Amino acid sequence: MKTRMMVFLAALLLSACQHVAVPPVSGEIRDLRSGQTLTAQELLARLAEPSRLIVGEQHDNRDHHQLQLWLLQALGERRPQGSLLLEMLTPVQQQRVDDVRHTSPLPSDLSGALAWQPGWDWNLYGPIVRFALTQPYPLLAANLDTPEVRTVYAKPPTLSGTRSNAPTVKNELLAQISDSHCGLLPESQMPAMLAVQQQRDRRIAERLRAAPMPSLLFTGAFHARKDVGVPIHVLDLGEPKAPTVLMLAEQGAEVTSAMADYVWYTPSTPPQDYCAQMRKQFGKPSGQ
């Protein structure tokens, strides 16, 4: 009788494991703290434990968004999901999101109903949003509204916290801002751009702290980074432990244990000379 019961329980466990679909994207998964290579199932088991999880993405990488949807669905099968937060949603959209959650079926023009911002490719984010809106947990805005960004840019506020004010953090972010704008930003604009970046990090951290747990955040790679992004703001706001970070990165990108806890390397995409196009269109900034 005892043997039959053990076989029955083993069969149940096996069927539960098999219910999780195979990841839609191949790649190498690594635990950056130990250097160990993980299977997708091993990664899921580890990501199901933390109360706060951040997944960093490359915004225009389709593989990353497919993996995010897979993670959201697979983690939901392992434990109840408390909330999903998106950098791509702003506070002014939150009421629209809440209203749509109580609509069945969902509107045919879902992006229009949510006033989805055109800067975020709906073809990439739509499947994630559509799935989340059918679930019992809330979908939450994590970014600043446009008027808030303008206010920060015009008059940068003082940022509290020793970690987020460290010179190494600010210098790394300034370098990233310059690179992302192809070196075309005038030096005079850099402090304001840095303030906007860090106020976004602070807002995301505040929203993550307030969100029902276990919480999951999808955001850009620099916002996700443990050494310069949202995690240090979570600590500066008084939390004793930083969120766990999984970074989605293309093969060949440098992701260290200082930046994330885990990395999932996806196939690299053909490079586009974006900066050459920008320089041709706008030229060099004055003073350079």
Q: What is the pLDDT of residues 231-262, one digit of tens each?
A: 999 999 999 999 999 999 999 999 999 999 99
Residue 120 falls inside a structural domain:
yes
Residue 252 falls inside a structural domain:
yes
Could you give the CA distance from residue 54 to residue 99 in angstroms, rounded to a whole number? 26
Residues whose CB falls within 8 Å of the CB of residue 5, separated by 6 or more in sequence, listed in order = none
Band (pLDDT 50/70/90 cuts) for residue 269 is confident
Residue 208 falls inside a structural domain:
yes
Task: Give the β-pairing of 215-220 and 52-57.
Answer: parallel
**What pLDDT shows up at residue 8?**
38
Contact 21, 73 (CB under 8 A): yes
**CATH number of the CATH domain containing 241:** 3.40.50.11550
Q: Residue range 261-276: average pLDDT?
A: 80
Amino acid, res. 224: A
Task: Give the β-pairing of 262-266 and 244-250.
Answer: parallel
Contact 47, 67 (CB under 8 A): no
Number of domains in the chain: 1
**What pLDDT shows up at residue 26?**
87
Could you give the CA distance from residue 149 to residue 151 in angstroms, rounded to a whole number? 5
**pLDDT > 90 fraction of the chain, expressed in percent and rounded:** 81
Instruction: Residue 159: count other Cβ atoms within 10 Å of its Cβ.
Output: 16
Residue 248 falls inside a structural domain:
yes
In sequence order, the β-bridge partners of residue 84 are: 139, 216
Q: Domain of residue 33: give its range.
A: 23-282
